[in-house]
Homo-oligomer: A and B are copies of this chain.
Amino acid sequence: MSKIPVIEIFGPTIQGEGMVIGQKTMFVRTSGCDYSCDWCDSAFTWDGSGKHLVQQMDAEEIWEELKAVGGDRFSFVTISGGNPALLKNLNHLIQLLKTNHIKIGLETQGSKWQDWFLEIDDLTLSPKPPSSKMTTDFEILDDIIAQLQQTNNQSFSLKIVVFNEQDFDYAKAIHKRYPGVPFYLQVGNEDIANSDNEKLLSELIGRYEWLIDQVVGDSELNDVKVLPQLHTYVWGNKRGV
């Protein structure tokens, strides 16, 4: 069976962000990304620094490892990256998880369609705002959202990370472009190298309050949710928790 490049498998823990915030879940992180966001907090998945961690695993091996690590203490698996949507053959893993009654969450920036998107229980599309220095391909994103809406799959959402006012305007434009899609604004973490958790926390909460103020004052962002990254509140910038 074809191999999937896996950079870490851990859990169970809590999903710290987005549409299933708080969910008890295992994580499978795949390596490789077609973007290189300025503030990427998972750069080790694509910049070479985590190369030694990558294991080529088939779906059965991933499932065995999930059970070895998580025992019977999970019923939800989150697939993250990098950009897992680069991997056409993820469908094997997705089928295997579904056969075992596991719910699946997945996040991608929306730069590439995969047919298996339709099998994901909670799919987050997170196009990247100007501060990332990446450019959104709206032709592709329009197409992805149209396909998801067409199949009446309502378990997907848009999530925009906001670092500054330009990003906030970008978020507004995205919400306007796709008005019916559940919409999340998330506070950006500007300080991904900070290991002083107390200082980090007070910065992050200050940024969260700023973002809430922006949204609360804006009549073009009404039916939206504003969330922090909860895992950074609890564990700071530590990885694999």
Hey, which chain B residues are within 8 Å of A222, CB to CB? 12, 24, 73-76
Q: How far is the CA of A198 from the CA of B226 in the complex (A)?
A: 22
Q: How far is the CA of A21 from the CA of B217 in the complex (A)?
A: 19
What is the distance, in angstroms, from A18's C-beta to the closest C-beta of chain B?
10
Question: Which of these binds chain B: A42-50, A81-89, A125-133, A208-216?
Answer: A208-216
A interface: dominant SS: mixed
User: Nearest residue in B to A202 (C-beta to C-beta)?
Assistant: B198
Hey, which chain B residues are within 8 Å of A76, CB to CB? 222-223
Quick one: which of A22, A219, A228 has the most chain B CB within 10 A?
A22
- Which among B23, B209, B225 is the interface contact of A20 at CB below 8 angstroms? B225
- Which among B11, B22, B73, B223 is the interface contact of A24 at CB below 8 angstroms? B223
B216 near A72 with CB under 8 A, answer no
